[in-house]
Amino acid sequence: MPERNRAHGTTNGDIVLPSQFFRNWRGEQALKSAECQLLVAVIADAVDCFQKHWGSEHTAGQRLFREAEHWIMEPAQRGFDDSSTGFSFEYACEMLGIDPDRVRAALRGWANARGKATRPAARAS
């Protein structure tokens, strides 16, 4: 039986859902602006790309995974400005009151439960 991870609100092997991190925020306050709705959608898409393309054998899937992994897992050096995406994961999380390290830890746990401690290797072209 899978173990429950209380820190992340997930069970080892479960899919990490963005709603797990937005649950308290959404429950206490409605999405007040289009900007907040956009930030939620961007984070949700990044988490989805990370999970959907984990271990992909296709070049396009590997690229999407690497982009999502880089945006989520790499700490921003410049705060708001991230030249590759327009804004950092930390900025998006901060604006929504989400702990970015909690999201990262949950995704690492999800990946580790699949038996891969590091990201999948790129396939030779």
Per residue in 82-116, pLDDT tens? 455 468 899 889 888 899 999 999 999 999 998 75
Q: Is residue 103 part of a domain?
A: yes
**Residue 11 β-bridge partners:** 4
Q: Which domain holds residue 97?
A: 17-111
Q: How far apart are CA 97 and CA 15, in angstroms?
A: 22
Q: How many domains does the chain have?
A: 1
With a pLDDT cut of 70, the percent of the chain lying above it is 58
Q: Is residue 64 part of a domain?
A: yes
Q: Rounded to whole angstroms, what are the CA distances from 124 to 36, 59, 62, 119?
A: 40, 9, 11, 15
Q: Is residue 45 part of a domain?
A: yes
Q: Is residue 40 part of a domain?
A: yes
Q: Is residue 2 part of a domain?
A: no
Q: Is residue 124 part of a domain?
A: no
Q: Is residue 93 part of a domain?
A: yes
- Maximum pairwise Cα distance, the chain: 49
CA angle in degrees (0–180, nearest 5) for 27-9-111 = 125
